[in-house]
Structure 1
């Protein structure tokens, strides 16, 4: 068909083939919306209208919280299943805010602002208090949680 009508400008692009663990984020010439490709999944990131976006997708911080929440839920599910615990459902609610370091008692940083993420677990199932306490400990050990708490080096280069 293309040889008769040429390349269609609004054609959906071919999906990008990415190696596992790689993500591609692309933007157009205007607007804040970003097309995200992660494996075979296509997503959109954007900002709300009051910040100059079109609210066509979650914000970058929403994606950060989503990563932590999904990893937490998966880690808790694997742990409870391995232990044979009767955990029926896991909900992970998260929020993010920037707070003054001086107002953060548990923070090592004492100047400027720090990122504070609150993670609330809602777990359904006939679990003992000891099991619930252990699941809170395990939540802090999910891989994304550990990455966020460790030293992170971001290397940026131009191609």
Structure 2
């Protein structure tokens, strides 16, 4: 799988992301007048929310838990990011006739979604290559 990025003609920092057949937009969000989309940090945090919701819905379906809907709120504190700390507060709102045991199981499952693991337990290596394009 490849993600391809190109600069948008709209806005100074607006970027177009192509993920398979899907298009997403990212922007720097430096100026409210030119806010063309979420910034890269927003997309990072949103990936966690989406992964948790999908993981919960898939798990509940497989386990026969009557989970009808998942709503997630993520609040970011990036005030210490430069010193190596990035804090995300995740709020789960789970709709369905759930007993306390099911609610507890679902909370534990949410903490095991692949993106959560990626953010907290996996060593990521990034290799960058660079080429000049004439024109």
- Please tell me the TM-score bracket, short chain as reference: 0.7 to 0.9
Aligned residues: 129
1:157 to 120, 129, 132: 129
Question: Mind listing any 5+ residue stretches in structure 1 that lack a counterpart?
Answer: 1-20, 102-110
1:50, CA displacement in angstroms?
A: 2.9
Q: What's the TM-score, normalizing by structure 2?
A: 0.85
State whether structure 2 residue 53 is matched by structure 1 residue 81: no
1:49, CA displacement in angstroms?
A: 4.1
Alignment correspondent of 1:70: 50
- 4+ residue runs over 4 A deviation: none
Alignment correspondent of 1:133: 104
1:1-159 matched pairs, under 5 angstroms: 21-27=1-7, 31-50=12-31, 54-100=34-80, 112-149=83-120, 150-159=122-131
1:99, CA displacement in angstroms?
A: 4.1
Q: What's the TM-score, normalizing by structure 1?
A: 0.73
RMSD: 2.2
Q: 2-side partners of 1:99 and 1:131: how far apart?
A: 35
Q: 2-side partners of 1:34 and 1:72: how far apart?
A: 26
Q: 1:24, 1:36 within 8 Å by CA — same for their partners in 2?
A: yes
1:114 match: secondary structure: coil
